[in-house]
Amino acid sequence: MTTCIYCGSAGPFSDEHVIPAGLGGDDRRFMLKGIVCEYCNCRVFSPLEASLLRASPVALARQFLQKTGRRRASGASSPTMQAEQILMVTREGNQLETELGEFGRAVTLAQIHQTTNTSCDTHARDKQQLTTFLGALRSCLLDTAIVLEKATSGAGRYVLRTYDGRSGAYTITSTQNTDVRPKKYIWLSTVARIEEPNARLPIVFSRRSGQVSMKVPDGYPIDQALTFFKKAAHQIDVSATVSNDIENPIVHVSNVAMDISIQPRVLAKIGINLLAFAVGADFVRDRQFDEIKRSIVRNDPPLYPRSAESLSNVFAKVPDTCHVFALFGPDLGAPAGYNPLVLASRLYGHMFDLVPLCLSAPPVPVGLPLYFTADYTSHQIKQLTSREFAAIYPPIGHPF
């Protein structure tokens, strides 16, 4: 009976990218099929990889160097960062909600800032963006409005609040915890209140994905904010808006929470995936890999970053647009014993890491080192023997 190479379950199974798609490994030739269960793939690995790609040192490099992430049916999108807020500060001192687009370029989002109890300012790249945003906002603020925010305690990932606006002013009708996002909602986040007049009044904006989001000061009545923005959405005259160029803006990125255990866990998973792909699923089912798989799935025991800067000469001739992964270990036919098997990697040209996969590897039925390159500009992966790698990318020196 086939079992998951990570947790040993009998499935159901789903296809697993050998190298994470968002990292540049969206190459359908390099997939694990029928050996990774849906739970590990979707419930463990997907959040793990999302943290690496959006809230880690790797995320910073990816944001500025990689044009697009995973290719989807709707098309490829540029990488995003998981920061509490990204603001563009204009010369006039306005703080505009912003996202980082291709190669880290700041992109202003369409937004409405409440300035007093009866007035507001609008900001957008152009009139078309503002028109589209107002249409989306109106569709969220009908007789019923749904507001969703991240849960901080209790059951469920989200807190869902429903508001009734048939009287002209919204009032809350229900609150519940849920794991499921509704089809249409306003995403809510709170910001610290600043004790200055109008220093922090509610704002509403649309992310590049189209999601309508609202930020309110901590303790501010949500129903009042909804009522205000519903009136504003119907009263704003797009034709009367005036265009102004933003010169020399300052972009402020704050509160990117980083877990240092994420990167070595994802790299270790890539190592096990590469072994399963190149050597076979039964090889990585050997008990010698049990400890590293517990670290990958449960972070027990925890893994910590290890620098592989000494390998910089080995990877020196590989273009910076290619990630490099190398499996080093016992030679062909070596007996089981104290034979460490490790993954060495270089991400985005300058991030070197070393992850031990096991200390006493079983005999490896293929020649090592074994190299893989992943071009994150084209999502093309190549598998190379040591001889092939040396011929294409002659190393400067020896890895050990």
**Same-domain check for residues 211 and 360:** no
**Same-domain check for residues 200 and 305:** no
Locate 330 and state its tokens: 């016992």
**Same-domain check for residues 89 and 53:** no
Q: Which of 347, 305, 256, 345 is nearest to 61 (CA)?
A: 347
Taking the C-alpha atoms of residue 16 and residue 397, their distance in angstroms, rounded to an integer, is: 35
Q: What is the pLDDT of residues 324-343, one digit of tens each?
A: 999 998 654 445 556 789 99
Q: Where does residue 102 rank: exposed (0-12), middle (13-18), buried (19+ CB within 10 A)?
A: middle
Looking at the structure of the chain, the number of domains it has is 2
pLDDT-flagged residues of the chain (< 50): 196-198, 332-334, 399-400
Q: What is the pLDDT of residue 147?
A: 97
**Same-domain check for residues 317 and 332:** yes
Cβ–Cβ < 8 Å for 64, 103: yes
Sign of CA dihedral 31, 16, 259, 81: positive
Inside any domain, residue 7: no
Inside any domain, residue 192: yes
**Global confidence as pTM:** 0.69
- The counts of H helices and E strands in the chain are 9, 19
Inside any domain, residue 3: no
Inside any domain, residue 189: yes
**Same-domain check for residues 208 and 59:** no
**Same-domain check for residues 192 and 325:** no
Among candidate residues 222, 254, 286, the one where a domain is terminated: 254
Inside any domain, residue 400: no
**Same-domain check for residues 119 and 33:** no
Inside any domain, residue 8: no
Inside any domain, residue 278: yes
Inside any domain, residue 9: no
**Same-domain check for residues 236 and 268:** no
Q: What is the pLDDT of residues 182-230, one digit of tens each?
A: 999 999 998 876 554 445 799 999 998 889 999 999 999 999 999 999 9
Among candidate residues 229, 254, 279, the one where a domain is terminated: 254
Write out the residue range of the structural domain in which residue 191 sits: 85-254
**Same-domain check for residues 125 and 63:** no
